[in-house]
């Protein structure tokens, strides 16, 4: 079995952002040389997420509005007693998830129709990373 590891780095200008990272993951799969296996993609920060869904701008806005209703920015979260102001970002990450795992078949991400991989940033404006770990044959 072979293993491949790569990191992607992001620094968004906005506090919240949603970035389609499918092309970067596809390049890592090609670079790995692994044809059959699994690709793990996970956000390495507790205020960011990686998820799979459709790359449709209305849907992304719907996600953002939904998350903002559930965990509004600026609410006085207990976490803010630590000196931070990002309690909402921690909750949004929990709702959207930490990672995705995608099967690799014939050297390609084995997606269903319309599936794409996204990096979601909930407390941006500083450098953060995403881990890509590919294992297989």
pLDDT at 6: 98
d(CA 134, CA 11): 24
In this predicted structure, what is the pLDDT of residue 122? 98
125: left (phi over 0), alpha (psi -120 to 50) or beta: left
Contact (Cβ atoms closer than 8 angstroms) between residue 50 and residue 100: yes
Q: pLDDT at position 110, please? A: 98
Look at residue 94 in the predicted model and tell me its pLDDT: 97
**Pair of tokens at residue 2:** 């072979």
- pLDDT at residue number 7: 98
Give the pLDDT score at 13.
95
Residue ranges of the chain with per-residue pLDDT less than 50 = none
* Terminal Cα-to-Cα distance of the chain (whole angstroms): 5
| pLDDT for the residue 55 | 96
Closest CA to 123 of 11, 6, 15, 8: 15
Which pLDDT score is estimated for 65?
98
User: pLDDT per residue over 75-110, tens digit each?
Assistant: 999 999 999 999 999 999 999 999 999 999 999 999
Prediction pTM value: 0.96
Structure letter (DSSP) for residue 124: -
Supply the pLDDT for residue 92: 98
Domains of the chain: 2-136 (2.60.120.460)
Position 96 scores a pLDDT of: 98
């Amino acid at each position: 079995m072979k293993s491949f590891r790569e990191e992607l780095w992001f620094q968004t200008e906005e506090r919240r952002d949603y970035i389609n990272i499918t092309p970067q993951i596809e390049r890592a799969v090609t670079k790995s040389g692994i044809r059959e296996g699994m690709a793990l993609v996970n956000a390495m920060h507790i205020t960011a997420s990686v998820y799979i869904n459709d790359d449709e701008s209305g849907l992304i806005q719907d996600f953002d509005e939904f998350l903002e209703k559930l965990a509004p920015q600026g609410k006085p979260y207990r976490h803010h007693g630590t000196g931070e102001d990002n309690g909402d970002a921690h909750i949004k990450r929990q709702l959207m998830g930490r990672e995705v795992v995608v099967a690799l078949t014939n050297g390609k991400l084995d997606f269903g129709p319309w599936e794409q991989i996204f990096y979601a940033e909930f407390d941006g404006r500083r450098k953060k990373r995403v881990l890509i770990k590919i294992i297989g044959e």
